[in-house]
Amino acid sequence: EDKVVQSPLSLVVHEGDTVTLNCSYEVTNFRSLLWYKQEKKAPTFLFMLTSSGIEKKSGRLSSILDKKELSSILNITATQTGDSAIYLCAVEGRGDYKLSFGAGTTVTVRA
């Protein structure tokens, strides 16, 4: 069975800080790893990573995959209160139609 472990489970930072979220996985025939942000309601898509070592960036958020270490990190620089959310990591195996999610990391950014 696929397994996704995120750390830390939660953290509290102040505006302007940088945060690094971790995701490690075990999946049969890895295809992709995805990051989602969840505020009040539905998770919204952030990044999809398929190749090792290639950083994906969107504004202050960036993510990179390490297939050798079976892990990924999500970085948020210059955090703002609007970054407060649960960040979810998910993996998909080849030939598989489903994602397996980690428990999520709850980020709280204080003004």
> Binding residues for other proteins, per CB under 8 A?
1, 4, 6, 9, 31-32, 34, 41-45, 48, 50, 88, 90, 92, 95-104
Q: Smallest gap, in angstroms, from Cβ of residue 15 to other proteins? A: 26
Half-sphere exposure of 63 (CA within 13 A, CB side): 25
Q: Smallest gap, in angstroms, from Cβ of residue 98 to other proteins? A: 5
- Ordered DSSP codes for the chain: --EEEEE-SEEEEETT--EEEEEEEE-TTEEEEEEEEESSSS-EEEEEE-STT--EEETTEEEEEETTTTEEEEEE-S--GGG-EEEEEEEEETT---EEE---EEEEEE-
Q: Smallest gap, in angstroms, from Cβ of residue 7 to other proteins? A: 13
**Closer residue to other proteins, CB minimum distance, 32 or 75:** 32
**Closer residue to other proteins, CB minimum distance, 68 or 97:** 97
Q: Smallest gap, in angstroms, from Cβ of residue 111 to other proteins? A: 25
**Closer residue to other proteins, CB minimum distance, 58 or 111:** 58
